[in-house]
Amino acid sequence: MKRLGVVGCGVMGSGIAEVGAKGGCDVVVVDAFPDALTPAQVRMTASLSKAEAAGKLAEPVDVIMGRITFTSDMSALADREIVIEAIRETVEDKVALIARLDAVLTPEAIIATNTSSIPVAQIAAASTTPGRVLGTHFFNPVPVMPLVEVVPCLLTDDAVTDATHAFCAEVLGKKVIRAEDRSGFVVNAILVPYLLSAIRSLQNGVASRDDIDEGMVAGCGMPMGPLKLCDMIGLDTMLLVSQSLYAEHLEAAFAPPALLKRHVEAGLLGRKSGRGFYDYSK
């Protein structure tokens, strides 16, 4: 498969499109909000330029960017072999998108939903051809983090899972693990309680923000502190992921702490809004 579509050009969608173009795919990026397209283009160019400066690109940045088309027109996806959606992390949005994709794509085209925590069956069941729907969970920043979780649900055809696994490994160059269709899959079911626990520690006055982050970096060799990582993931995404995990598992470790909710209510969403647990305005 070399004709890739990406729906949603936020941080995750941009990263997936970048990796696809780097892997030689012809990529169509669709976002319903035309204003999101230019920032995505800028983000990808900056990211590729960083890779180029580190001697990690086999081709010039403009050649790779030349493989990507940016549009708000969903019908541009009509000839895609695989479409990966990376829109907002709510069942309602993703289910509505599946109906729109069903109307545009050929019946053979694969639909992969990049969800961090929504069980894939809920999304696949909304398709008129659910056998072509599965989950692909990429990690942020997508161009840097090697992993993809491939998540077939009860309705996914085996051939679709195998083809997507091969695409992620061979074309996108990712390390693939297969995960069961449960909220959080493998990695987030382990990672999210850790991140929420850091927020709870801050909320309960166990230690300062910097001491919590420095503690996990210097004490456990984490590449960045958990509160900084929450800011990078996006606190709105963290809240949605936590709610989805809690709804599925009903375990206190997944419940969103009040401090996370207050940040989101206040519009302090992390790096993307300029302030979260840290201030990025400068």
Pair of tokens at residue 280: 């990025």
Query: Which of 140, 163, 217, 249 touches ligand CAA by CB under 6 A?
Result: 140
51 interacts with ligand CAA by CB under 6 A: yes
- Residue from 116, 129, 136, 183 touching ligand CAA (CB under 6 A): that is 116
Q: How far is the CB of 47 from ligand CAA (least distance, A)?
A: 4
Does 50 interact with ligand CAA (rule: CB under 6 A)? Answer: yes
Which parts of the chain fold into alpha helices (H)? Answer: 11-22, 37-53, 61-65, 91-104, 120-124, 158-166, 187-203, 209-220, 226-233, 235-249, 258-265
Active site annotation includes 249: no
Contact string 241-280 vs ligand CAA (x = CB under 6 A): x---------------------------------------
Choosing from 56, 88, 175, 178, the residue that interacts with ligand CAA (CB under 6 A) is 56
* Options 47, 156, 183, 244; binder of ligand CAA; rule CB under 6 A: 47
Closest contact distance (angstroms) between CB of 254 and ligand CAA is: 13
Q: Which of 89, 117, 149, 165 is catalytic?
A: 149
Q: Which of 188, 242, 243, 273 binds ligand CAA (CB under 6 A)?
A: 188
For residue 7, report the phi and psi dihedrals to the nearest 5 degrees: -110, 125
Instruction: Check if the beta carbon of residue 84 is closer than 8 Å to that of residue 7.
Output: yes
Site of tokens 């030689």: 24
Angle between helices 209-220 and 226-233 (to 10 degrees): 110
DSSP H or E stretch at residue 137:
strand 133-138
Q: With respect to ligand CAA, which residue has the nearer C-beta, 2 or 50?
A: 50
Q: Is 249 exposed, middle or buried (0-12, 13-18, 19+ CB in 10 A)?
A: middle
CB-nearer residue toward ligand CAA: 84 or 233:
233
The two beta strands, 147-151 and 3-7, are: unpaired
Tokens representing 177? Answer: 């693990």
Residue 116 or 136 having the CB closest to ligand CAA: 116
Q: Is 29 left (phi over 0), alpha (psi -120 to 50) or beta?
A: beta
Amino acid in position 24: G
The answer to whether residue 144 forms part of the interface with ligand CAA (CB under 6 A) is yes
> Where does this chain bind ligand CAA (CB under 6 A)?
47-48, 50-51, 54, 56, 116, 139-141, 143-145, 188, 191, 223-224, 229, 233, 241
Which residues participate in catalysis according to the annotation? 116, 137, 149, 188
